[in-house]
Chains A and B, each alone.
Chain A
Amino acid sequence: MSNQEIVLSVKNIEVIYDHVILVLKGVSLDVPKGGIVALLGANGAGKTTTIKSISNILGTERGEVTKGSIEFLGERVESLGSNELVKRGVVQVMEGRHCFEHLTVEENLLTGAYTRRATRKEVHDDLELVYGYFPRLKERRRSQAGYTSGGEQQMIAVGRALMAKPSVILLDEPSMGLAPQLVEEIFQIVKALNEKEGVTFLLAEQNTTVALRYATYGYILESGRVVMDGDAAMLAENEDVKEFYLGMSGGDRKSFRDVKHYRRRKRWLA
């Protein structure tokens, strides 16, 4: 990773909710230009919090980055407003889609271009670009987003982010609640956007199998700390990752007691 240009760099951040709940206990990660970096971990590991602290919308949930720094293109951004960050090209796609239900599909996409000072023509071209990646959205452009399916809503959310012409998309849990086939479809589009549009991705995912297949690099979070990181291929081969995240434990059936023992030990060490 050392020879690549780092666009987004999170340095040892600590996040506290409500002044008392310590959620991130020093998370550091680097996102190289043009990469797809996966942020892996179980429920409550701190994936979403990490993403939200980058996009700076923690304030609405009474969360606060209390230590460390976040740099985008070498500039510190943790005290910028979320709208300023979108203007600079870092856009978040929230977990659980969060479409604007009462707006039509097309209006949803148009809100994505809110921060841009683009001409009507430019916006129109970008709409067509998004429809090129998501043909299904074009068919449903006039229907209310609230009545579209889960997969379509995820497409709206990603398409909406694209409308901001971002250089980095923070994609939170794109597979949530989607059928395996759709998950694959969404990830393929992520890959295509990465290669053709040059968009850098930081994606938080519980579905480790799929994420490691598409990502270039991965970080594994456990209770607010990075416990392991490395190239995606390397992580996929790692014994611990295989056992705890990929559900593979080398053929033989293992006694449940051993697993518990191992986990307990690990927790104490962490």
Chain B
Amino acid sequence: MSPMILNTIEVMLNGLMTGVMYSLVALGFVLIFKASGIFNYAQGVMALFAALTLVGFQSGQIPFSHLINVVFGTDYHNWGPGMNAFLAILLTMAVMVLLAWLVERLVLRHLVNQEPIILFMATIGLAFFMEGLGDMMWGANIKVLDIGLPSGGSFWWEDVTRVWATEGSEYYGMYIDVLDVWAAGIAIVLVIALTLFSQYTKTGRALRAVADDHQAALTVGISLRTIWIVVWSIAGFVALVAGIMWGSKSGIQFSLSLIALKALPVLILGGFTSIPGAIVGGLIIGVGEKLFEFAIGPLIGGATENWFAYVLALMFLMFRPQGLYGDKIIERV
């Protein structure tokens, strides 16, 4: 094969990996949207918050240490050497469940049966609140997240692909980040698990029932509050996974919360109500933006990755507003 084709394949592969990362964020949106019709603007911030908490636990930071030091004039920062990654992840998950419970208790419960736009506004408020809370609890400095996942280019893959090139051409193999491959694997497991859960368990069925009709769900004895706590906990878990992946890739900084914006076109493509849709949408956007940048970018001055996803989403909105896999709006005549 000529190096040109191999380069294209490399770009596509990397696009797929980036796409998976987008999908991870989009997944959290889909879960909450499906079950409650709320577009949770805070999903990105939840990922940030989860990642911050994880690093905090791992490195043995004392939460709110800045506040404590200012008020009491002390100088505490760490309570010890920290803990191992697995334990820290478990604890962070507990925090996310607690957060889900609080969100239901303090926000959702009071907004039952309100317009979707009101609930959306509430999640915007939640996003700002959590960003502030994360800052106050763990500090605003950029942190390194390392839970022991391998990262960096794969030499093995470089060696494998080097020989694919035509004899004598200058080609040094494909680059692929091992961390991205891990992310892809984890995303696949996550999606399979979530799909099985929602299709074949009693709680999963109840989730889908609530998504279809709140009042009817009440009449069969499903408690909306329980369901919402379950959904937000799962969304919190997905946020944690997304936070770990993005955090390991580019460090934990507050701009992480903006990845939520990148999930929006993914959702429009895949459909707001479809878990597989979130994955496929992410992949299409990931591959699409990388290929576009590679093939057409140089002709029009580059930096197309910033807008490509949104233009694609706009076109989808015109021709297929429910997305590729979104629930068809069932209308009987």
Q: Which residues of A contact B (CB under 8 A)?
A: 55, 57, 59-62, 81-83, 85-87, 91-94, 98-103, 107, 110-112, 114-115, 144, 146-147, 150, 160-161, 164
The answer to whether A61 and B216 have CB atoms under 8 Å apart is: no
Chain B residues with Cβ under 8 A from A147's Cβ? 330, 332
Q: Which of B211, B220, B327 contacts A112 (CB 8 A)?
A: B220
The answer to whether A107 and B205 have CB atoms under 8 Å apart is: yes
Task: Please measure, in the bound complex, the distance between the C-alpha atom of A93 and the C-alpha atom of B220, giving whole angstroms.
Answer: 9
> What's the dominant secondary structure at chain B's contact region?
helix
The answer to whether B327 and A83 have CB atoms under 8 Å apart is: no
**Assuming the A-B contacts A62-B113, A81-B223, are A146 and B202 also in contact, with contact meaning beta carbons closer than 8 angstroms in the complex?**
no
The answer to whether A83 and B221 have CB atoms under 8 Å apart is: yes
**Known pairs A99-B216, A111-B217, A114-B221 / 17 extra A-B pairs, C-beta < 8 Å:** A82-B218, A83-B221, A94-B216, A99-B213, A100-B208, A100-B209, A100-B216, A102-B211, A103-B208, A103-B209, A111-B220, A114-B206, A115-B220, A115-B221, A147-B332, A161-B220, A164-B221
The answer to whether B330 and A86 have CB atoms under 8 Å apart is: no
Task: Please measure, in the bound complex, the distance between the C-alpha atom of A267 and the C-alpha atom of B221, giving whole angstroms.
Answer: 39
Interface residues of B in 205-249 (CB under 8 A from A): 205-206, 208-209, 211-223
Q: Nearest chain A CB to B315's CB is how many angstroms away? A: 27
Q: Which of A60, A87, A160 contacts B113 (CB 8 A)?
A: A60
* Cross-chain pairs A/B with CB under 8 angstroms, 23 sampled: A55-B219, A57-B219, A60-B214, A60-B215, A82-B219, A83-B221, A85-B221, A86-B221, A100-B216, A101-B213, A102-B327, A103-B212, A107-B205, A110-B205, A111-B206, A112-B220, A114-B202, A114-B221, A114-B222, A115-B221, A144-B330, A146-B332, A164-B220
Chain A residues with Cβ under 8 A from B113's Cβ? 60-62
Task: Please measure, in the bound complex, the distance between the C-alpha atom of A144 and the C-alpha atom of B212, giving whole angstroms.
Answer: 12
Task: Please measure, in the bound complex, the distance between the C-alpha atom of A144 and the C-alpha atom of B328, giving whole angstroms.
Answer: 11
B296 close to A (CB within 8 Å):
no
Task: Please measure, in the bound complex, the distance between the C-alpha atom of A121 and the C-alpha atom of B131, giving whole angstroms.
Answer: 49
Task: Please measure, in the bound complex, the distance between the C-alpha atom of A110 and the C-alpha atom of B208, giving whole angstroms.
Answer: 12
Interface residues of B in 34-62 (CB under 8 A from A): none
Task: Please measure, in the bound complex, the distance between the C-alpha atom of A83 and the C-alpha atom of B19, giving whole angstroms.
Answer: 41
The answer to whether A101 and B330 have CB atoms under 8 Å apart is: yes
Task: Please measure, in the bound complex, the distance between the C-alpha atom of A49 and the C-alpha atom of B211, giving whole angstroms.
Answer: 24
B121 close to A (CB within 8 Å):
no
Chain A residues with Cβ under 8 A from B192's Cβ? none
- Total A-B Cβ pairs within 8 A: 88
The answer to whether A98 and B215 have CB atoms under 8 Å apart is: yes
Q: Which of A62, A98, A144, A150 contacts B219 (CB 8 A)?
A: A98
Task: Please measure, in the bound complex, the distance between the C-alpha atom of A147 and the C-alpha atom of B327, giving whole angstroms.
Answer: 13
B112 close to A (CB within 8 Å):
yes
Q: Nearest chain A CB to B7's CB is how many angstroms away? A: 44
Task: Please measure, in the bound complex, the distance between the C-alpha atom of A107 and the C-alpha atom of B211, giving whole angstroms.
Answer: 14
Residues 295-333 of chain B, each 1 if its beta carbon lies under 8 Å from chain A, else 0? 000000000000000000000000000000001001010
Task: Please measure, in the bound complex, the distance between the C-alpha atom of A91 and the C-alpha atom of B208, giving whole angstroms.
Answer: 20
Q: Which of B112, B202, B213, B223 contacts A100 (CB 8 A)?
A: B213
Task: Please measure, in the bound complex, the distance between the C-alpha atom of A111 and the C-alpha atom of B220, giving whole angstroms.
Answer: 7
Task: Please measure, in the bound complex, the distance between the C-alpha atom of A230 and the C-alpha atom of B327, giving whole angstroms.
Answer: 48
Task: Please measure, in the bound complex, the distance between the C-alpha atom of A74 and the C-alpha atom of B86, giving whole angstroms.
Answer: 53
**Assuming the A-B contacts A60-B112, A60-B113, are A102 and B212 also in contact, with contact meaning beta carbons closer than 8 angstroms in the complex?**
yes
Task: Please measure, in the bound complex, the distance between the C-alpha atom of A146 and the C-alpha atom of B329, giving whole angstroms.
Answer: 9
Chain B residues with Cβ under 8 A from A94's Cβ? 215-216, 219
The 9 closest A-B pairs by CB, nearest first: A86-B221, A146-B330, A98-B216, A115-B221, A100-B212, A83-B221, A83-B223, A92-B219, A60-B113
Task: Please measure, in the bound complex, the distance between the C-alpha atom of A57 and the C-alpha atom of B209, giving whole angstroms.
Answer: 16
Q: Nearest chain B CB to A156's CB is how many angstroms away? A: 10
Q: Which of B211, B212, B221, B330 contacts A82 (CB 8 A)?
A: B221
Q: Which of B202, B206, B220, B332 contacts A91 (CB 8 A)?
A: B220
Q: Nearest chain B CB to A2's CB is how many angstroms away? A: 32
Chain A residues with Cβ under 8 A from B213's Cβ? 98-101
The answer to whether A87 and B221 have CB atoms under 8 Å apart is: yes
Q: Nearest chain B CB to A168's CB is how many angstroms away? A: 13
Q: Nearest chain B CB to A132's CB is how many angstroms away? A: 20
Task: Please measure, in the bound complex, the distance between the C-alpha atom of A87 and the C-alpha atom of B219, giving whole angstroms.
Answer: 11
- Nearest A residue (CB) for B219: A92
The answer to whether A83 and B330 have CB atoms under 8 Å apart is: no
Q: Nearest chain A CB to B140's CB is how many angstroms away? A: 41
Interface residues of B in 149-208 (CB under 8 A from A): 202, 205-206, 208
Chain B residues with Cβ under 8 A from A114's Cβ? 202, 205-206, 220-222
**Assuming the A-B contacts A146-B330, A146-B332, are A57 and B220 also in contact, with contact meaning beta carbons closer than 8 angstroms in the complex?**
no
The answer to whether B218 and A83 have CB atoms under 8 Å apart is: yes
Most chain B beta carbons < 10 A, residue from A55, A86, A150: A86
The answer to whether A86 and B212 have CB atoms under 8 Å apart is: no
Q: Nearest chain A CB to B113's CB is how many angstroms away? A: 5
The answer to whether B215 and A102 have CB atoms under 8 Å apart is: no
Task: Please measure, in the bound complex, the distance between the C-alpha atom of A110 and the C-alpha atom of B205, giving whole angstroms.
Answer: 8
Q: Which of A61, A62, A86, A111 contacts B205 (CB 8 A)?
A: A111
Task: Please measure, in the bound complex, the distance between the C-alpha atom of A103 and the C-alpha atom of B332, giving whole angstroms.
Answer: 16
Q: Nearest chain B CB to A243's CB is how many angstroms away? A: 35
**Assuming the A-B contacts A57-B219, A82-B219, A83-B223, are A101 and B112 also in contact, with contact meaning beta carbons closer than 8 angstroms in the complex?**
no
Q: Nearest chain B CB to A238's CB is how many angstroms away? A: 33
Q: Which of B209, B223, B327, B332 contacts A111 (CB 8 A)?
A: B209
The answer to whether B218 and A60 have CB atoms under 8 Å apart is: yes
Task: Please measure, in the bound complex, the distance between the C-alpha atom of A82 and the C-alpha atom of B206, giving whole angstroms.
Answer: 15
Q: Nearest chain B CB to A43's CB is how many angstroms away? A: 19
